[in-house]
Amino acid sequence: MRIFVLFFAVISATAAAGPCAAQDAAAGRQKAILCQACHGLDGLAKIPGAPNLAGQVKDYLVKAMTDYKTGARKNEMMSVLMQQVSDADIELLASYYASLTVPAKPAQ
């Protein structure tokens, strides 16, 4: 099931990506230093309890990060971390992780 979701996410992210998105993604890679310990620079989770972000839908990522920042959503790590991330950086981070592709295949 999750593999399917990831698969469609990759397709829609690729469809949405334009030249501007590519620049944002490049800038976002630098910002992702803040995320790498748990979500990886490759967008694949490095710790239990953290989700894969590679190829995730950009708008969803923006909403999730914003919700942690405002307190609408709570998590011991993300609520603390997002306090130091600007709205502009949230856009860049979301662009970066949305731009990553994963070799997801539907289950046989």
Partner 1 sequence: MTKHIALAVLLSATALATPALAQTVPDNLEKLSQFQSTGASLDIPTIQQDPAKAAAINKILSQIKLPSGFRIQLYAIVPDARHMAVGPQGIVTFVGTRKNKVYAVTDRDKNRVADEVKVFAPSINMKIPNGVCFSKDGFLYVAEQNRVLLFPAAEFFYESPDVAAFSVVKQGELIPPTEESFNHTARVCRVGPDDKLYITLGQPFNVPAKDKLDLYAKVGMSGIIRMDRDGKNREVYATGVRNSVGMDFNPKDKTLWFTDNQVDGMGDDQPPGELNRATQAGLNFGFPYYGGGKTRTDEYKTDTPPADVVFPQVEMAAHAADLGMMFYTGTQFPAKYRGGIFSAQHGSWNRTKPVGARVMFTSLKEDGTADKTEPFAEGWLSNNGEYFGRPVDVAQLPDGSLLVSDDLVGALYRISYGN
Helix (H) or strand (E) holding 94: helix 87-99
| Residues in contact with 65: Cβ distance below 8 Å, sequence separation at least 6, in sequence order | 78, 82, 85, 90, 93, 94
- Asked if residue 33 binds partner 1 (CB under 8 A), the reply is yes
Residues 10-29, mask of contacts with partner 1 (x by CB under 8 A): --------------------
Residue 71 CB, nearest approach to partner 1 (Å): 13
Tell me which stretch binds partner 1 (CB under 8 A): 3-11, 38-46, 59-67, 91-99.
38-46
Which position has the token pair 């949405």?
A: 16
- Asked if residue 80 binds partner 1 (CB under 8 A), the reply is yes
Give 13-55 as a 3 state SS string. Answer: HHHHCCHHHHHHHHHHHHHHHHCHHHHCCCCCCCCCCCCCCCC
Residue nearer to partner 1 on the CB measure, 16 or 37: 37
| Interface ranges with partner 1 (CB under 8 A) | 1, 30, 33-34, 36-38, 41, 46-49, 76-77, 80-81, 83-84
